[in-house]
Amino acid sequence: MEIKVGAVMTLCPKCKSIQKADSTCSICKYPIPPKDVDPDEGPEKKEAQYGYRPRIEKDEEEEVTEPDLPAGAPKRPRLSARDRMAINERLSKAGLDGNGRFGSPTEALNVATTILSEHGIELDDIPNSWALTKYEQFRFTLDLAWTNEADSYSPVAIQNSVLVFTWYKFSEGVYEGLAYLS
């Protein structure tokens, strides 16, 4: 690629490589806008000019749209603060605040998943079974999903919360469990 002295250079909006303005990206073949285009026309233009997406002002805030959800799925990919507090309170009352004693980390995790299932939530991660049986203390951060009654193979991921699960072994067969939603 031949670049003339004084050529106007800009960043490719797609691959972020330095390219000649008003051309086609030599790497990803994306059309590079001319440098004299008003950068306030849209976020792609700002991204091309500044190399990053500048903070959006309140008056030009983008509309947040819900992701495409499977048929019959709950229409809320986020967990409300009220639901999170209610679940955390139930986890605490079940002894998962560090004050309860369990026969194994698996038993404590089963209590947590039972409480979550009563609220229509399931784990979207698979806990490491080797860690559950071998470590005396450990911490998991597990993704969550809404249970989809219409299609059990398509749970809807919860985007704003995870289950934090920790255990500590006091003695043989006596474990402390701690679980809460972030």
Q: Is residue 113 part of a domain?
A: yes
Residue 140 — pLDDT band, cuts 50, 70, 90?
A: confident
Q: What mean pLDDT is predicted for residues 74-99?
A: 86
In a domain, 150, yes or no: yes
Domain shared by 155 and 105, yes or no: yes
Q: Tell me, yes or no, whether 21 and 101 share the same domain.
A: no
Same domain, residue pair 85 and 175: yes
Query: Is there a single domain that holds both residue 175 and residue 105?
Result: yes
pLDDT: which is higher, 164 or 31? 164
Q: Which residue has the higher pLDDT, 35 or 50?
A: 35
Q: Which domain holds residue 128?
A: 81-181
Q: Which pLDDT band holds residue 34 (cuts at 50, 70, 90)?
A: confident
Number of structural domains, the chain?
2
87 with 21, same domain: the answer is no
Nearest one of 72, 76, 140, 73 to 106, comparing CA atoms: 140
Q: Give the CA angle between residues 95, 99, 102 to the nearest 5°.
A: 60
pLDDT band, residue 112 (cuts 50/70/90) = very high
* 109 and 46 in a common domain: no
Could you tell me the two tokens for 81? Answer: 């603060």
**What global pTM score does this model have?**
0.58
